[in-house]
Structure 1
Amino acid sequence: MSTDITSLSASELSDAIHARQVSCVDVMQAYLQRIERLNPACNAIVNRAADETLLAEARQCDEQLSRGQSRGWLHGIPQAIKDTGHALGFPSTMGSRVLEKQMPRADSIMTARMKAAGCIVIGKTNMPELGLGSHTFNDLFGRTPNAWDTAVSAGGSSGGAAVALAQRMLPVADGSDFMGSLRNPAGWNHIFGMRPSQGRVPYGPGVDVWVDQLGTEGPMARCVRDLARLLATQSGHDPRQPLSINGVLDVSTISYTPEALKGLRVGWLGDLEGHLALEDGILGVCEDALRAMQNAGAVVEATNLGYDRQALWDCWLVWRRALVGPKVAALLPLPNAAALLKPEAMWEYENSLKLSYMDFQRASQRRSSFYHHLLKVFEKVDVLALPVAQVWPFPIEERWPQRIGDRPMDTYHRWMECTIYATLAGLPAISLPAGFHPKKPWPMGIQLIGKPQGDVELLQVAAGYEAVRWDWLQRRPD
């Protein structure tokens, strides 16, 4: 029974719970048993609550159903929150020894919404320290290896969430994305991850609600239906985040058939005319995914981004330093913080001190210019496609790739440059499982970037893609 339960999608599990085919206690026991067996090697879920506490909450959920009461579609379903988010009763460590004992005073907006839909929070998922770098390791909890090969990276920063999901230790997962943190680990673990439109999922509440908008929370799932339902749960305006988008996302119109791909115009950006350094085999895997869409009626055309790529990278560096630097600065007064924080965090902080307001305003204008440029591009295409990562999963002992081929990486995150375009423009982007390395069991994803606030349309494309590759998408780690 345990194997059957953990093999179900979140939507199937929800139906089974509400039909009283399985109890919430059965579900919780099945997942706790799987976590107990797999998590010691995966190290994906951290700061887990006691089994007795979780089973007591599951019993309470069963009692509510016996009275005809349901909290929502996630009623009784286990969920672990990425450690960037707050969940009452669990430390918000952000993977840092500096914050090891920090207890939140309230749930994050996203956590509260998932709880309101009925989930039971069982713990947190592992991440890189402060979410910096797309490789899940830290000095507090250690490394999280890839679900398909424990010798290589899971990606990040939502690496713990991706691995827990791929290994069926969670039915559905949440994460956050600044520089591909929902997209990269999804691509490297053969699942779906979506960065929503800027403002779709209110982040926080944080100390700044006006400028700090590049990071966003969002969903991860093993199927598109779960991805869509979780995003709908997470979405909607919150007055504490004044720039959040009004209205809950309506995903009821999504059709899970190949029909959505007929006539779809896909602009394939590839390696941006050689600008992006890519390891061998990545373009081919992505092009295989595009051929599957083409065979279902999509029109795929090579597309030039048509914008100065180096100017965008320079713009990115300013924005990232401007937003990360103050967060690091806020931690420095804590005991031994400067010595404990990872070098990449201190590098961001030190560079942020060199920025002037004029630097930031120019970068903001550049970002605005790029957004308006993409509006013209989207007059000719419906979605833009890029690889979701520029390298295959790399050895877990490495901090970050130093080179791609003969090209050195000049920062700890240059190898993830392919993710900055959706972030800078505030556009929705989704990572679809694309294929595997020709000789290794390593997954790779392709990212599709949608039009402004085109989250439902992008999910519809993903649903069409899922329909044409359904059998292949059911592959699971050994």
Structure 2
Amino acid sequence: MTLTDLSATKLLAMLHAREVTAAEVMQACLDCIAQENPPLNAIVALKDTDALMEAAAQADKDGPSGALWGLPMAVKDTANAVGFPGTLGSPILAKFIPKRDDLHVARMRAAGAIFIGKTNVPEFGLGSHSVNPVYGATRNPYDTGRSVGGSSGGAAASLASRMQWAVDGSDMMGSLRNPAGWANVYGFRPSFGLVPADPDRDLYLHPLATSGPMARSPEDLALLLDVQAGRDPRVPSSYDDGPFATQLDADLKGRRVAWLGDWGGAWPMDDGVIATCEAALNTFDMLGCTVESLPAPFPAEDLWQSWIDLRSFAVAGSLGPLYDNPDYRPLIREDAIWEIERGRALSAQQIMRASSIRSNWFRKASELFQTYDALIAPTAQVWPFPVDWAHPKQIAGQQMDTYHRWMECVIPCSLIGLPGVAVPAGFGDNGLPMGLQFIGPHRGDLGVLQLAQGWHQATGWPDKRPPQGAAG
């Protein structure tokens, strides 16, 4: 076993005990990137090797400080990190170098992480396929002819291939969960407010996205979450919870989970997705949990309508200034223009109806959590698709009416800001990975992380079946 095979928790313990140096860890990281990144294109904007080795040597000289001290980390390219391009995968921002870190990035830096570059994303983070005109496409470590999802696709691929130990991601429409499921790793969307949004951004209106951790184990998720999470007085929705890393191990006997499946047939699925997920559900028996199939608990079409209206409204607000610039508009991808124009065409009544549906779904979900400890769903409705596709245009013979309709299974969690952890569910007959979402009640983050911890101890998928060619 090499340094890159170790968990982040084990590696950091060795670093703090001076059993290994930050320089040795950095060299191992860079060697792995040199071997694994060329076919995957997961890590972009990689900093100069000499500068990174100098930073690691300085860390060794200064000595241990912070939970992430000496850990090389690449930051998702939708987040600002001083010293690195913040392109969002758009040629409009290809030369943008931020002057300040986003809040969760600043927390990781303060905890001692050594930033080495960025992880690749879709243009503007839209859609679950990490391809853009600045850096190109990120490929799946389990089949380089296929997508690894997104928008945290570069992050997921860097974990699966052992180029990274733990990484940041973000999740609006499954961006932490879908790529985790397609890369046989873990991704955690925290309850809204646990990892605060950047205080310079809008703090109130229709929040849909959040940052969160990705890793190869729940233990490492919790380690990074403890760094990212916590109240900031400038962010009114933020709050303190945890710590999480010290509370993961729990007796899970008697916990009840509800299997949502395909939401009563509302979500079309590729052949084998449901079968693979349902076979994985047997793991709950080993944990002493009760699994019950749950009929569709809310009208799927209402959820979808609420989601696309609030999402288009949010995208129109964030990308509208670029759209209004005649020099920039030709450089914006077609799907983003569709979102902006659709969002601007919505009436106040439509926005209020979307918000009302959202509120009703939260009330219904709260009722469900009086009976169940978690709701379980697939992380995706399709297997990783060919990397040269823009997106799946049909599933099981059903045409997709938008560029993101094929991701419908992630919105019950996203729409109302619930915690959702993506866990590996194993592999289909095609050899491709699939994942499950464990969704909990608001501020029930510890509960779903404990379920994920038990799951990992029972299955160990990321270590049991790493991708062929991953450095080790």
The whole-number CA distance in structure 1 between the counterparts of 2:170 and 2:47 is 22
Tell me the amino acid that sits aligned with residue 166 of structure 1: A
Q: Tell me the equivalent position of 1:44.
A: 42
The whole-number CA distance in structure 2 between the counterparts of 1:269 and 1:436 is 20
1:13-412 alignment runs, 5 A limit: 13-65=11-63, 70-247=64-241, 249-255=243-249, 260-334=251-325, 336-412=327-403
Q: Is residue 438 of structure 2 the alignment partner of residue 448 of structure 1? A: yes
Q: CA deviation at 1:332?
A: 2.4
The whole-number CA distance in structure 1 between the counterparts of 2:243 and 2:204 is 23
The whole-number CA distance in structure 2 between the counterparts of 1:204 and 1:376 is 32
The whole-number CA distance in structure 1 between the counterparts of 2:406 and 2:99 is 37
The whole-number CA distance in structure 2 between the counterparts of 1:350 and 1:393 is 29
Kept after mapping to 2: 8 A contact 1:260/1:461: no
Tell me the amino acid that sits aligned with residue 243 of structure 1: S
Kept after mapping to 1: 8 A contact 2:12/2:71: yes
Q: CA deviation at 1:270?
A: 0.5
Q: CA deviation at 1:472?
A: 7.2
- Give the TM-score normalised by the residue count of structure 2: 0.97
Kept after mapping to 2: 8 A contact 1:325/1:349: yes
The whole-number CA distance in structure 1 between the counterparts of 2:462 and 2:44 is 31
Q: Secondary structure at the match of 1:54?
A: helix
Residues 253-307 of structure 1 show CA distances to partners (whole Å, capped at 9, x for unaligned) of 221xxx6331110100101110000011111111122111123311000012321
Kept after mapping to 2: 8 A contact 1:236/1:249: no
- Give the TM-score normalised by the residue count of structure 1: 0.96
The whole-number CA distance in structure 2 between the counterparts of 1:11 and 1:181 is 24
Residues 176-206 of structure 1 show CA distances to partners (whole Å, capped at 9, x for unaligned) of 0000000000000000001000111012234
Tell me the amino acid that sits aligned with residue 36 of structure 2: L
The whole-number CA distance in structure 2 between the counterparts of 1:304 and 1:264 is 19
Structure 1 333/387 Cα, relative in aligned 2: closer, same or farther at 3 Å? Answer: same
Kept after mapping to 1: 8 A contact 2:426/2:461: no
The whole-number CA distance in structure 2 between the counterparts of 1:96 and 1:314 is 28
The whole-number CA distance in structure 2 between the counterparts of 1:248 and 1:267 is 25
Q: Secondary structure at the match of 1:135?
A: coil
Q: CA deviation at 1:356?
A: 1.3
Residues 71-113 of structure 1 show CA distances to partners (whole Å, capped at 9, x for unaligned) of 2121111000001111001111001001111111210100111
Q: Tell me the equivalent position of 2:456.
A: 466
Q: Secondary structure at the match of 1:150?
A: strand
The whole-number CA distance in structure 2 between the counterparts of 1:185 and 1:83 is 15
Q: Tell me the equivalent position of 1:7.
A: 5
The whole-number CA distance in structure 2 between the counterparts of 1:403 and 1:115 is 42
Kept after mapping to 2: 8 A contact 1:224/1:463: yes
Q: Secondary structure at the match of 2:145?
A: coil
Q: Is residue 471 of structure 2 the alignment partner of residue 477 of structure 1? A: no
Kept after mapping to 2: 8 A contact 1:46/1:141: yes
Q: Percent identity?
A: 44
Q: Secondary structure at the match of 1:151?
A: strand
Q: Secondary structure at the match of 1:389?
A: coil
The whole-number CA distance in structure 2 between the counterparts of 1:37 and 1:245 is 41
Of stretches 337-346 and 185-194 in structure 1, the one that deviates more from structure 2 is 337-346
Residues 10-40 of structure 1 show CA distances to partners (whole Å, capped at 9, x for unaligned) of 1111011112111100000111111112211
Tell me the amino acid that sits aligned with residue 310 of structure 2: W
Tell me the amino acid that sits aligned with residue 239 of structure 1: P
The whole-number CA distance in structure 2 between the counterparts of 1:448 and 1:473 is 20
The whole-number CA distance in structure 1 between the counterparts of 2:418 and 2:466 is 30
* Unmatched runs of 5 consecutive residues or more in structure 1: none
What is the alpha-carbon root mean square deviation over aligned residues?
1.3
Of stretches 303-312 and 459-468 in structure 1, the one that deviates more from structure 2 is 303-312
Tell me the amino acid that sits aligned with residue 137 of structure 1: V
Tell me the amino acid that sits aligned with residue 91 of structure 2: R
Structure 1 301/477 Cα, relative in aligned 2: closer, same or farther at 3 Å? Answer: same
The whole-number CA distance in structure 2 between the counterparts of 1:445 and 1:337 is 38
* Unmatched runs of 5 consecutive residues or more in structure 2: none
Structure 1 473/269 Cα, relative in aligned 2: closer, same or farther at 3 Å? Answer: farther
Q: CA deviation at 1:334?
A: 4.6
Structure 1 335/120 Cα, relative in aligned 2: closer, same or farther at 3 Å? Answer: farther
Q: CA deviation at 1:207?
A: 3.1
The whole-number CA distance in structure 2 between the counterparts of 1:169 and 1:343 is 32
Of stretches 168-177 and 301-310 in structure 1, the one that deviates more from structure 2 is 301-310
Tell me the amino acid that sits aligned with residue 58 of structure 2: Q
Tell me the amino acid that sits aligned with residue 157 of structure 2: V
